[in-house]
Amino acid sequence: MSSSRTFEDKQPQRRASSGFEFMKGVGQVTGGTLLSITMLASSIVAGGLVGLAISFRNLPDVRQLRNFFPSETTYIYDVKGKLLTSIHGEANREVVPLDRISPNLKRAVLASEDSHFYDHHGINPVGVGRAIVVNAAAGGVREGGSTVTMQLVKNLFLSHKRAFTRKLAEAVLAIRLEQILNKDQIFEMYLNQVYWGHNNYGVQTAARSYFNKSAEYLSLGESAMMAGLIQAPEEFSPFVSMKLAKQKQKEVLGRMLELNWISQSEYDDALKQEIKLGRIKSFQGSALPYVTNTVAQELAKKFGRETLLKGGMRVQTTVDADFQMMAEETVSKWHKLLLEQGLSKNQMALVAIDPRTHFIKALVGGIDPKSSEFNRATQAERQPGSSFKPFVYYTAFASGKYTPDSTVVDSPVSYRDGNGMYSPRNYDGTFRGAMPIRTAIAQSRNIPVIKVGKAVGMNRVIETCRTLGIMSPMAPVSSLPLGAIGVTPLEMASAYATFANYGWQSPPTVIARVTDSSGNVLLDNTPKPQLVLDPWASAAIIDVMRSVISEGTGKGAAIGRPAAGKTGTTSSEKDIWFVGTVPQLTTAVWVGRDDNRQLADHATGGVMVAPIWKDFMQKALKNVPVENFKPTSQFSRPKSQ
């Protein structure tokens, strides 16, 4: 087809060494004589302006553009490369090199804005002369005569207020800029800097917004329509008026035909081409806001908010979009079921972590991200109740003085704490005498865990929690083993994941990798696990938590494969939990109310949350092979301390 012909195909007798070869030779459109006159006039005017530049000593130093990096949009992707959202400040921009921009668009822009770009030295005397005539007739500044180079320095350095002195400044800066950057560099910078409407800066975001394609693949018709936007983007936007957009497209194509840059058949075909519009993408919401908001917070903490908004980072998360959607749908489903069971105004959070990497695989911070931005998975510190007990028993096992079969006595006891006497009770109000730790945790007895905590030392329990990443304030009081502190679901999932990985821990993260727009690695979260807990004690706590599901309060979480977990219910039924794990996935589920009021009489983690965990895990593990936990016999038991 004729549309595939390049500019140099049509003018083979004139080829220059620049990478932008197809535009070389534009001077021939008016003949060699006019070109000579134009070049001579350009040199004369340029020389005069160089002298005039002495009076512009306070103008910006254009040499800094050698190291100029325009603000760029940050893009966040799921683990498979699916775009989740983009984050930017005022300028939504993705920088692309000149050789990845359609030749059609480059020709259309130069035809519309500066057809002599590759022949002048920053200013175009013909254009300036025309502007002088028009402005003189109008009695004011009506036409600028600006070249692409002048437009670029105006956009980067000067105000957009029309004035004669500003035009002089543009001219001086344009000449200076052409002395330090070549034409291709200037044109590439211009195309990536110019505003195209609807918060799109640069050709790439504009092409994706208007036509849902990369700037590299724009057709002649699409290119002409985009080039027509530059003078008044919102007015001529096809999203606003396709009629006006087509009118400007026709003008640009007509100019290209006049310059002999396209043939009559290409002109006709471009006008007939059906324009398939994309959609405005700036400031659109995220499909997975709980994930992307968490990512944004991590990035801002690591790199600063300015870099987040303008640094053009490419972020690969640890989350699969389909997996996350399944988790969100599970939470929404069970929210409605719990409402039917009388748990009014219930909220929910779910965090799933791969214990082998500590990569977050799903993160749901509430029942509806559109109704509330508050992320309960990472921000809500709620009491864990009995799901805290494994931290106490792990500490006991790590001391070398206890095993899963060690006997503890479930009998009345009182302690004097700072607030007076404390006499703990079991949830059912009874006492069951001597029993092994395995039974005590399976039945979630309160008295035994407090006795064990007292025996090993509450400060050592706190040390275990700190090692596991739980940073909430804790006091070594008698009620600590019953979970009288605030924790987030993310902290609980991460802690149990460390148990499931036999004491090996990496920082939990939702970010796998971050690069800049050129592919340079800024952050690589490849797991580098460290052994932070005793492996035997970790395997032992997993072993006793398996009894919770097989014969204890967590029977509702049985999923037909080896699993370990713990129920959690706080006093007055304000917070109910189930935190559990298989070797490949650890999940914490929390249910409560934002106003911290009682959910319902006898609302427990075992009855109401374990089934949620089960439902999610069965879906999550559908195609995952069954795997057994390592027995304690594979590890050396710690010596008694």
Residue 10 in any domain: the answer is: yes
**pLDDT value, residue 432:** 96
**pLDDT digit string, tens, across residues 159-200:** 555 555 666 777 888 888 888 889 999 999 899 888 888 888
Which one from 94, 113, 298, 491 is the annotated catalytic residue? 113
Residue 258 in any domain: the answer is: yes
**pLDDT value, residue 624:** 97
Residue 308 in any domain: the answer is: no
| 265 and 361 in a common domain | no
Euclidean distance between CA atoms 412 and 637, whole angstroms: 31
Q: Domain total for the chain?
A: 2
Euclidean distance between CA atoms 79 and 512, whole angstroms: 8
Q: Which of 191, 188, 220 is nearest to 206 (CA)?
A: 191
Where does a domain end: 254, 272, 290? 272
Q: In 3-state terms, what secondary structure has residue 589?
A: strand
**pLDDT value, residue 127:** 64
Mean pLDDT of all residues belonging to the chain: 86
User: Which domain covers residue 264, as residue numbers?
Assistant: 2-60+102-192+219-272
| 510 and 582 in a common domain | yes
Residue 39 in any domain: the answer is: yes
386 labelled catalytic: yes
| 124 and 28 in a common domain | yes
Q: Which of 525, 460, 532, 456 is nearest to 497 (CA)?
A: 532
Structure tokens at 412: 């009345």
Residue 372 in any domain: the answer is: yes
The crossing angle, in degrees rounded to 10, of helices 264-272 and 220-227 is 80
Residue 289 in any domain: the answer is: no
| 404 and 259 in a common domain | no
| 513 and 367 in a common domain | yes
Residue 280 in any domain: the answer is: no
572 labelled catalytic: no
CB 364 within 8 Å of CB 374: no
Which one from 209, 386, 387, 399 is the annotated catalytic residue? 386
**pLDDT value, residue 417:** 77
State which residues of the chain have pLDDT below 50: 1-38, 40-41, 44, 48, 51-55, 140-143
CATH number at residue 263: 1.10.3810.10
Buried b (16+ CB within 10 A) or exposed e, 383-396: bbbbbbbbbbbbbb
Task: Report residue 354: phi and psi, to 5°.
Answer: -80, 110
**pLDDT value, residue 196:** 86
